[in-house]
Structure 1
Amino acid sequence: MKKYLIILSSALVFFTSNSCSNRDLELLPPDQDSLNEINTPTKLQQLLNGAYLSISSANALGAEATMFADILGDKFFVSNSNSSYTTTYTYNYSATVNDFKFYGTLYDMITKCNFVIQSSVPEDEEVIRMKAEAKILRGMAYFILVNYYSPTPSSGVNQEYGVPLVTDVYDVTIQPARATVAEVYDRIIQDLTEGAQNAEATPQSKVLLGKDAAKLLLSRVYITRRAAGDAQKAVDLATQVIDSAPAGSFGLGTNSISAYTSYFAGNDDGASEEQPETIWELDFNQVTNRANGIGSNVSLPVFYSRQDSRRSMLINQSFYSSFAATDIRRGSLTTGLISNTGPTTPNTDSPKGYWMNKYPRLTSEGNYVRDVKILRYSEAYLNRIEGLYLAGQNAQALTELNAFAASRNGSLYTGADLLNDILTERAKELYGEGHRFFDLKRHNLPVVRPSNCTINCTIPAGDKLFVFPIPQGALNSNANLKQYPGYN
């Protein structure tokens, strides 16, 4: 079975801690060439591989940066039987006490991307491809950072508190201040647009980023920024992604519980990885996991899989009850993607929750080695629908929303509260994939937890808790970096 990313030396170090130092980028080739002598396509590929591994690490999309967007929402809760990430779940975080580790990891990844993008290696087809992928990775990293560490653009609040922008090659002496939110979004859009122009239309593996990945991310960016004309841009880009979807992607024709469940939760990695529905997935195997920190201590299966001893993230009863009995995304209580069967359902929770099976622990290749799906073609339909709504095309948005729900044998909508209907359908399709918190945040909606909560159960729209505090270590090392208001 495929595994594209090749680590050229087991001695290479691919990711960092939260603080920055002049040794954060330890991606030297095996012969110990200096960083200013990265002068061949092979060395550029090493750096690019390192960037892929950084963003797929346990600190980033491989676990925390994905999981937190669901922990902070209103569909999951942390079980009383296992207290993992309760600081995040209860919104009880500060600059010094928090579970966040991806701030430094993503800036380390950005540094690797900058080396690739700024490289003077003569450009041939492969070098152009690598630079395009590096731009997509950098744009994605800044989008993750600004989503977590800044207010949403449409809030109109504290828009001077974007995140630092670093686009030049590594310089340990720089101390960048926070850019404005608008400046960060301009950089994200430029990176993703340029990446889409030169990336491959059909990458040789789903663990590589191509044109559809960049366009899907751009559609997500535009429904988040919501400047004049952005809604139509989101519609256009999402439509392009839909039109390029390969045969076999879910689209509007997937009404099989077995096919949907096999894609996410089946034992056979061959039937789950490299599938037409997937645009981009994280490359997990016994080799890459040693570099990205994925395993029995930190990974998505550790916290979601009912088979893992550290399992703690459950779906609340309110969300489970919102699915029609026929909805393929719920499925059977014993074989579906949401279940309450063995090995045991925690009896310490009141009310008891439901397991999500999108991240199985043990599969045909072993423990913790199932590739994690980050970008799917189905999201393009939902982004298009949201773009139509934002563009004022409500009737068309409702028609397409009900077509999508019907394709999953789900409940249909009246459109009386169309935005809520759209976000409800997004929650049903994308639960556990790192979307819900951002769906609420970009529309300036509160988080209201229906159960299994004792502190900070309602977070009002605009509350500082929608923005993560910058880690104290980063503040200590950068005199120009300001903390978000309210955390000082």
Structure 2
Amino acid sequence: MRNAFNVVKAIDDGKVNATQAELANYRGEALAAIALCYFDLTRLYGYPYAKDNGASPGVPLLDHAIGYGETSTRSSVAECYEYIINKLKEAITLLSNSRNDGHLNSYAARALLARTYLYCGKNKEAFGTADMLINDLKSTGLYYLVDNAHYADMYSWGNKLGAEALFQVSNTATSNPGRDGLSYMLHWWGYAAVVLTDDFAQKLKSDPADVRNQLVATYQDGGDHQYYNLLLKCPGEKGYDSPSFDNNYTVIRLSEVYLIAAEAGLKAGGELRQPALDYLNDIVRRANPNASVSDAEFTLDRVLDERAKELVGEGHRYFDLLRNGKKIVRRGGKHLPNAPEEIDWNYYKCVLPISRDEFTFNPDMEQNEGYTKE
């Protein structure tokens, strides 16, 4: 965020030598990056909007890179989401409509705006933003849903920045997180520290025709001889026979936009219910062409179930359950030996504590409930 704010200031100070179109796009990228960072900070440190209509503390809101000795107070979650929405709206007017892999363009910012609306309960706005984006992309063909036959290929090492990748963090052979990266955590050749629960694996396997089964593999650990279900979304250059370091990390892809439209339209109801169901079935039928969800089956739990299957490993399930007031059930075996099995938004550790370092600079900063400042 500091870097992004510095880019904006450099543009304002006339220190960036570029055309007006380039300057507008640079500013738009910086504003969208700031909004994205604030979105993640808000959902990590602030309680879900639906718990109290955003009244609880979120994070400090700034319009510049904070200076030495400067302090700020925490704004409410509602104020944070409003800030994020305004930043994204401004960014969208500035950003290019061209495909710019590894960078934020107008389509990525619009997708993030739809996600933000969903998180703060603005369901008609979330549906409208997602619906318009989907239809615009159908007309341009810049991004599109990968079909059933090529679904598993979407995650191959050589298919970075594919058809659905609205925004990915690009990693290269020389610039990547190495063994600290998520891909190495997932890989059997690496740490194999992030695995699928048996419950989730069985949920997928209950429909053998679901193409997403191709992204699950069973691995036996040579040390403890236990079996683990591995997610195959981050293969190495030679598939799962080589270590995985430089995979791109997906921030948002087109499938999520369809699922945003499905959830938001369901919640809004009325005339939006049927198009929302159609968007859900686009994802369901892509996974299994012979499957579909009926109107009677079109419930929030069914949408969340589809989000779990489609977006597994992409950082959504915890927040999906939390923001909808659902219980999070954690049953995993040796990697969760002492964890509580069920938590919800009333469990104080569902959000992170403010770091004690913050109180060194600002003793008046409010701590999250249940945590201390020491």
Q: Shorter-chain-normalised TM-score: which range?
A: 0.7 to 0.9
Q: Out of 188-197 and 468-477, give the one that drifted further.
A: 468-477
For 1:419 and 1:319, locate their aligned partners in 2 and report how far apart those are by CA, in whole Å. 18
Amino acid in structure 1 at the alignment position of 2:218: N
For the structure 1 residues 346 and 435, does the alpha-carbon distance in structure 2 shift closer, same or farther, using more than 3 Å as the test?
farther
What is the aligned partner in structure 1 of residue 172 from structure 2?
A: 285
Contact 2:4 2:34 in 1 (8 A): yes
**3-state secondary structure, aligned to 1:369:** coil
Which aligned pairs between 1:40-55 and structure 2 lie closer than 5 A?
Answer: none
The alpha carbon displacement at 1:407 in A equals 1.4
CA deviation map 1:160-211 (0-9, x unaligned): 41101121244111111111111111110011111111111113x3101001
For 2:53 and 2:123, locate their aligned partners in 1 and report how far apart those are by CA, in whole Å. 21
What is the aligned partner in structure 2 of residue 168 from structure 1?
A: 64
The alpha carbon displacement at 1:366 in A equals 8.4
- The alignment status of 1:118 with 2:9, answered yes or no, reads yes
The alpha carbon displacement at 1:451 in A equals 4.3
For the structure 1 residues 121 and 206, does the alpha-carbon distance in structure 2 shift closer, same or farther, using more than 3 Å as the test?
same
Query: Which segments of 5 or more consecutive residues in structure 2 lack a partner in the other structure?
Result: none
Task: Give the counterpart of 1:303 among 172, 185, 203.
Answer: 185
What is the aligned partner in structure 1 of residue 42 from structure 2?
A: 146
Q: Which has the higher helix share?
A: 2
- The alignment status of 1:325 with 2:230, answered yes or no, reads no
What is the aligned partner in structure 2 of residue 405 from structure 1?
A: 284
What is the aligned partner in structure 2 of residue 46 from structure 1?
A: none
The alpha carbon displacement at 1:481 in A equals 1.5
**3-state secondary structure, aligned to 1:431:** coil
For 1:338 and 1:480, locate their aligned partners in 2 and report how far apart those are by CA, in whole Å. 48
CA deviation map 1:135-180 (0-9, x unaligned): 0000000000000100011110782411011212441111111111
For the structure 1 residues 396 and 128, does the alpha-carbon distance in structure 2 shift closer, same or farther, using more than 3 Å as the test?
closer
**3-state secondary structure, aligned to 1:116:** helix
* RMSD, aligned CA: 2.4
**Between the two proteins, what is the percent identity of the paired residues?**
23
CA deviation map 1:103-159 (0-9, x unaligned): xxxxxxx11111222332447221111110000000000000000100011110782
CA deviation map 1:1-25 (0-9, x unaligned): xxxxxxxxxxxxxxxxxxxxxxxxx
Q: Using structure 2 for the length normalisation, give the TM-score.
A: 0.87
For 2:315 and 2:223, locate their aligned partners in 1 and report how far apart those are by CA, in whole Å. 24
What is the aligned partner in structure 2 of residue 69 from structure 1?
A: none
Contact 1:224 1:442 in 2 (8 A): yes
**3-state secondary structure, aligned to 2:166:** strand
For 1:315 and 1:188, locate their aligned partners in 2 and report how far apart those are by CA, in whole Å. 32
Contact 2:322 2:344 in 1 (8 A): no
CA deviation map 1:276-326 (0-9, x unaligned): 22111112113433xxxx112x00121101121x22111111111112111
Amino acid in structure 1 at the alignment position of 2:38: Y
Question: More relative contact order in 1 or in 2 (CA 8 Å, sep 6+)?
Answer: 1
What is the aligned partner in structure 1 of residue 106 from structure 2?
A: 211
What is the aligned partner in structure 2 of residue 460 from structure 1?
A: 344
Contact 2:38 2:84 in 1 (8 A): yes
Q: Using structure 1 for the length normalisation, give the TM-score.
A: 0.68
Task: Give the counterpart of 1:358 among 230, 233, 246.
Answer: 233
What is the aligned partner in structure 1 of residue 310 from structure 2?
A: 429
Amino acid in structure 2 at the alignment position of 1:408: A
Contact 2:95 2:105 in 1 (8 A): yes
For 1:148 and 1:457, locate their aligned partners in 2 and report how far apart those are by CA, in whole Å. 20
The alpha carbon displacement at 1:216 in A equals 0.6
For 2:318 and 2:68, locate their aligned partners in 1 and report how far apart those are by CA, in whole Å. 34
For 1:129 and 1:356, locate their aligned partners in 2 and report how far apart those are by CA, in whole Å. 36
**3-state secondary structure, aligned to 1:237:** helix
**3-state secondary structure, aligned to 1:194:** helix
What is the aligned partner in structure 1 of residue 329 from structure 2?
A: 448
For the structure 1 residues 360 and 128, does the alpha-carbon distance in structure 2 shift closer, same or farther, using more than 3 Å as the test?
same
For the structure 1 residues 345 and 155, does the alpha-carbon distance in structure 2 shift closer, same or farther, using more than 3 Å as the test?
farther
How many pairs were matched up? 354
